[in-house]
Amino acid sequence: MTDDTQQPDPDASTARDAPDVVVVGGGVAGLSAAVFTARHGLETTVLDSGESILRRNAHLENFPGFPAGVNGRHLLDLLGEQAAEAGCEQVTATVASVGTTDGGLVVHTDTGDRYRAAYVVAATKNAVGYLEDVDGVGIIDRGKAFVDTDERGRTGVDGLYAAGRLAEKPHQAAVCAGHGAEVGVTILEDDDRPFYHDWVTPEGYFTDRGRDLPPGCEEVDEAERADREARSLDVMRERFAEPHPDDQVTHPSLGED
């Protein structure tokens, strides 16, 4: 177990708000995990250094729901918007280390900020340097580094999870996004949150059958449903009105002069 007091120069670091969940890595896995924890009311902060490998994709043609494919950078932007809509804070930062304390986990950034959290999701593809001093985390070296987890993303350390490619999931955006979502739901279960399915259903779907509305479910009437659909059409029309402004990122070795 890494003692927080052994972190480099802890007194010089700045304590940020204490969210319930800190997600390290804002690629598809991390942002998907954040959407699920934030939607269910856990205060969630995503720390991301801005280099999702999906930014290198030329055109994403195997992500469910996009029959003609989608620009991968567009998808990441939309996922970030969805996390923000769910109430999640997103911070550009590089995480330098994670420590364990009696009161939970503490995440240190390379600029000296620190975040205490009950739950940390590591979703940094093959970057593991910030986890190397945490006793109980199994690092698997197969040429690239991965984190050893159980089938739901739990590591050997209470409160610390790994998601997406880092958790040895196959190297496709949809698989990593799905695993991120699963890890988010696992945290809700481990936190004993009253959770059902995070469903939005037509009015009366449960209650007209004499059932209480299950926790985490919402029934909406036709007017509300139509409003939400109209808003989603407006948002998607606007977001997809123009090609994405960013250039495709290539492999770092090809970018060198």
Ligand X SMILES: Cc1cc2nc3c(=O)[nH]c(=O)nc-3n(C[C@H](O)[C@H](O)[C@H](O)COP(=O)(O)OP(=O)(O)OC[C@H]3O[C@@H](n4cnc5c(N)ncnc54)[C@H](O)[C@@H]3O)c2cc1C
Residues forming the site for ligand X (CB under 6 A): 24-30, 47-54, 56-57, 60, 62, 94-95, 123-125, 127, 130, 164-166, 171-174, 176
Distance CA 132, CA 121 (A): 15
Handedness of CA 248, 253, 254, 257 (dihedral sign): positive
| Residue 139 beta carbon to ligand X: minimum distance, rounded to whole angstroms | 14
CB of 152 to ligand X, least distance (A): 16
By C-beta, is 52 or 100 nearer to ligand X?
Answer: 52
Nearer to ligand X, 65 or 210 (CB): 65
Cβ neighbour number for residue 97 with a 10 Å cutoff: 21
Least distance from ligand X to the Cβ atom of residue 191, Å: 22
Q: How far is the CB of 93 from ligand X (least distance, A)?
A: 6
User: Is 40 or 125 the residue whose CB approaches ligand X more closely?
Assistant: 125
Token duo for residue 171 = 């190297």
| Nearest distance in Å: CB 127, ligand X | 4
Minimum gap (Å) between residue 27 Cβ and ligand X: 2
- Cβ atoms 83, 76 nearer than 8 A: no
Tell me whether residue 50 or residue 204 sits nearer to ligand X (CB atom). Answer: 50
Q: Which residue minimizes CB distance to ligand X?
A: 27
Residue 54 or 120 having the CB closest to ligand X: 54
Question: In the bound complex, what is the minimum distance in angstroms from residue 95's beta carbon to ligand X?
Answer: 4
